[in-house]
Amino acid sequence: MAIGATLLEGGVNFSVYSKHSTELQLLLFDHVDDERPAPVVPLDPAEHRSYHYWHVFVPGLKPGQVYAYRARAPRLPERGLTYDPDKVLLDPYARLLAIPRRYDARRPFARRKLRGVTEERRGGHHELRLGRR
């Protein structure tokens, strides 16, 4: 099983590591500028979890599908577990990052944490290149 989004015959297989999550949702967006996903694919731990890896095959998807995740887990800040089920999470294994037009690159947010990552602009997407830290 490959980590990330893997294009297969007939659809896409999604796989992500999430050790502490008790519930995971795959959010599919029709367009990069959509604020809400349509549809949301709930992952059942009995069917879509192997050890700490969550995975699901979604038939009919094509290359370029915009997606993200939402995770639930016990909130235990003293142990470093600060899951927020209202946050949309990027796939840490993604090779491209779609950025909505309304995003203002001048506003600081998590970019500070992307040390060693450079972006190569490709149309409306950014290809991430991992460098040395």
State phi, psi for 103 to the nearest 5 degrees: -70, 130
Claim to verify: residue 59 and residue 122 sit in the same structural domain: no
Claim to verify: residue 132 and residue 100 sit in the same structural domain: yes
Claim to verify: residue 46 and residue 18 sit in the same structural domain: yes
**Chain length of the chain:** 133
Overall number of domains in the chain: 2
Q: What is the domain range of residue 120?
A: 95-133
* pTM of the model as a whole: 0.77
Claim to verify: residue 78 and residue 122 sit in the same structural domain: no
> Residue 127 and residue 88: Cα distance in Å, rounded?
20
Q: Residue 49 maps to which CATH number?
A: 2.60.40.10
> Residue 105 and residue 29: Cα distance in Å, rounded?
21
Residue 89 CB-density burial (10 A; 0-12 exposed, 13-18 middle, 19+ buried): middle
pLDDT digits (tens, 9 = 90+) for 51-72: 999 999 999 999 989 999 999 9
pLDDT digits (tens, 9 = 90+) for 100-111: 877 766 655 544
Count other C-beta atoms under 10 Å from residue 122's C-beta: 9
Count other C-beta atoms under 10 Å from residue 113's C-beta: 7
The pLDDT value given to residue 83: 85
Claim to verify: residue 128 and residue 110 sit in the same structural domain: yes
How much of the chain exceeds pLDDT 70, in percent? 77
